[in-house]
Amino acid sequence: MEKMTSFRIIILLAGLFKIISADKHCVMSTFHLSCTFDISENRSLSIHKTDIKTLDLSGSVLNELVRLFVKEYINVEELNLSNCRIRHIENGTFSDLYKLVKLNLSDNLMKSFNTDSFQQPNALSVLILSNNLLTHLDSFPFENFPKLRALDISGNGLTYLSESVIHVIITNSFMTFHADRNPWDCQDSHWKAYLDKSQYLRRSFCVTNFPSALANFRSKSKYNNGLYTSTDNCSRPRETCGFSRCK
């Protein structure tokens, strides 16, 4: 029996329908989407997954992201999986999405990002990992993401950056890097030697209110005993930030 899933979805597709933007009730099966555009008149449209260019599944409850869930969207260019309570991404999940250039995985519950979820190399240009539970990016292979131009890791639990990330910050002038709202530890041995050698890096991460060339690095929040406190003085368990839009 073909598995059916019902959820709120926003789609943007191109083809015989010219351009259609919809924010409607849809039912997804393995091979197509059936979307109701006017519930009162029960009008619907069956949409093949290969027609979809932009897919917004934000707010769905997924927990684990597997290849079977997205493999049919072979022409998708932008995929929004924010606020889906994702904890784990399976190896090869995005390997069939050769045209994917923007991926939003913000506001989830990932403690690490599985870079093996992509084919290598890939076409990804924008990767948003903000407001997760990331504690390190040690194994991020930038060489497998040759077109990456924007990486957002803000609002995580990162205390240091690995050598590969630091190298990209220093040498890649085309990269936009967002890393505010992390509890950076400038005494951490993983990167202290680089901070001591580079006034640029130390000012960017360790000097309060320094006007860094790295946009928006200054932290306006803090972590205390597992609680996330923002400028509005609102505290909540860090674990809930994955799906309640902690700002």
Q: Residues near 144 by Cβ (< 8 Å), separated by ≥ 6?
A: 115, 118, 120, 121, 122
Instruction: Fill in the amino acid letter for 190.
Output: H
Number of neighbours of residue 195 by Cβ within 10 angstroms? 22
Does the pLDDT value for residue 26 go beyond 50?
yes
**Band of residue 13 on the pLDDT scale cut at 50, 70, 90:** very low
pLDDT in the model for residue 176:
92
| pLDDT tens digit sequence for 34-70 | 665 555 555 656 677 888 888 988 998 888 999 999 9
For residues 207 and 86, give the distance between their C-alpha atoms in angstroms, rounded to a whole number. 34
Averaged over 129-134, what is the pLDDT? 98
pLDDT in the model for residue 11:
52
- DSSP H or E stretch at residue 199: helix 199-206
For residues 83 and 62, give the distance between their C-alpha atoms in angstroms, rounded to a whole number. 9
Residue with tokens 């989407």: 33
Residue 140 near residue 163, CB atoms below 8 Å: no
Pick the CATH number of 57-242 from 3.10.129.10, 3.10.450.630, 3.80.10.10, 3.40.50.150: 3.80.10.10
| Domain assignments of the chain as residue spans, ordered by start | 57-242
Tell me the two tokens of residue 98.
């050769």
Residue 228 near residue 221, CB atoms below 8 Å: yes
